[in-house]
Amino acid sequence: MAIKVELAHRVKSLPPYLFARIDQMKEEALKKGVDVIDISIGDPDLPTPEHIVKAMQKAVEKPENHKYPSYIGMYSYREAVARWYKRLYDVELDPGTEIISLIGSKEGIGHIPLAFVEPGDVVLCPTPAYPVYSIGTIFAGGSPYFMPLKEENNFFPDFSAIPEDVLNKAKMMFLNYPNNPTSASATEEFFKEAIELANKYNIIICHDAAYTEIFFDGKRPLSFMQIDGAKEVGVELHSLSKTYNMTGWRVGYAVGNPEVIAGLGKIKTNIDSGVFQAIQEASIVALDSDDSVLDQIRNTYQQRRDALYEGLKGLGIDAIKPEATFYLWTRVPKGYTSEDFTIFLLDKAGILGTPGNGFGEPGEGYIRFALTVSVERIKEAVERLKKVL
């Protein structure tokens, strides 16, 4: 007789994971023989640059890399991260105390609340947003307080709207710029406002910077670490996934406040065994790459952005032209909800986007498109839209 298996409350309380639902919708359409143009999930279709792959092939042959790696990352990897920040942002980081390796930034985002959040504590989470900010909070026993990102406020949270009692209970705040899903970029003034709030209420800021290197028209986004006082109040989590088309490699890092880095390190030493050293060696080569590698990737995304934005605009669909990320945050036509329009596009045109409300209630009325197919496929999607709209 089988045992009775019952999920823990922390799992029962989770909403359905958005991207699992998207995968299911795609699978059902493919079973029906639909030629799906999938512009829903932010997984780059471009290959990892060849010189990084070759470095990995060489590194994987070394017997010394077949052993357990360092919990916090090879010192040489952390030095490469420090060089990268100095070169791109003129930010000084101590590889010994201010940098830690991550098994992709998602892992760091999901684990960092465990180090600092007690049951009953509040974590300030943006919405619409990447779901892991609130999910990591729930796993740690904390309570997410959602900060709406509205178009009329340039997709920045309105800190003045947060009640005083919530701010007094807040232990952490997640921010993410350039933003997923809205594609908004942060200003220096906004980051300064966040730092001021963090100092006043003793809040740790965790800035998810996964998209800072995907930008257009030469407008490089800010790193949170560039702003005076950022290192005193928080950390920035970054990933090689989007920057170097390395989503499957699962490698990233967190940088910033040494005490916060140490706290995250304590969680990681008890939960995981670090990033495979061969991946770290290849990642050093990636981080030290000439900027021409990234320019080529950015140019590809910019061509796609222009093709999709102009195509949607020509059809009277109101898309926001992004300066960064590889997403278009697009208002759905009148008469549709986010989910209705997503289902309509899949059923009638074989186009799969992501409903905005799946990222949180303020995302209702929007759909997110990812620039993760070729220009040719984007143009085909626009032609299909013409026929069904």
DSSP letter string, 143-161: EEEEEE--GGGTT---GGG
SS3 205: strand
Please say which residue of 233, 261, 289 terminates a domain. Answer: 289
Residue 209 and residue 335 share a domain:
no
Q: Is residue 219 part of a domain?
A: yes
Q: Among 367, 289, 302, which Cα is nearest to 39's?
A: 367
Residue 2 domain flag = no
Radius of gyration of the chain (CA): 21
Mark the ranges of the chain whose per-residue pLDDT is less than 50. none
Specify whether the CB–CB gap between 236 and 100 falls below 8 A. no
Same domain, 140 and 99: yes
- Write the pLDDT tens digit of every residue in 132-154: 999 999 999 999 999 999 999 99
pTM: 0.95
- Could you tell me if 123 and 236 lie in one domain? yes
pLDDT value at residue 27: 86
Answer whether residue 214 is part of any domain: yes
Burial 81-95 (b: 16+ CB within 10 A, else e): bbebbeebbebebeb
Contact (CB, 8 A) for 261 and 94: no
pLDDT at position 87 = 96
Asked whether residue 1 is domain-assigned, the answer is no
123 and 188 share one domain: yes
14 and 64 within one domain: no
Question: How far is Cα 197 from Cα 194, in angstroms, rounded to an integer?
Answer: 5
Which residue, of 263, 289, 315, is where some domain finishes?
289
Helix residue ranges, H only, 61-119: 75-89, 105-116
Question: In CATH, what number is assigned to the domain containing residue 40?
Answer: 3.90.1150.10
- Tell me, yes or no, whether 256 and 322 share the same domain: no
CATH number for the domain that contains residue 206 = 3.40.640.10
CA 54 to chain centre: 27
4 lies in some domain:
no
Question: Nearest to residue 206, comparing CAs of 113, 272, 114, 79?
Answer: 113
- pLDDT score at 24: 82
- Per-residue confidence (pLDDT) for residue 13, from 0 to 100: 79
Same domain, 363 and 244: no
Question: Is residue 58 located within the same domain as residue 137?
Answer: yes
Based on the structure, what is the number of domains in the chain? 2
382 lies in a domain?
Answer: yes
Name the helix (H) or strand (E) containing 254: strand 252-256
Q: Two tokens at 3?
A: 């045992």
**What is the domain extent for residue 359?**
9-47+292-388
Statement to judge: residues 25 and 73 lie in one domain: no
Residue 257 forms part of a structural domain:
yes
Confidence at residue 18, expressed as pLDDT on a 0 to 100 scale = 66
Q: Which of 228, 254, 289 is the last residue of a domain?
A: 289
Q: Same domain, yes or no, for 285 and 298?
A: no
Q: Is residue 373 a part of any domain in this protein?
A: yes
- Regarding whether 326 and 377 lie in a shared domain, the answer is yes
Cβ neighbours of residue 31 closer than 8 Å, sequence gap 6 or more = none
Check whether residue 43 and residue 54 sit in a common domain.
no
Q: Are strands 234-239 and 354-355 parallel, antiparallel or unpaired?
A: unpaired
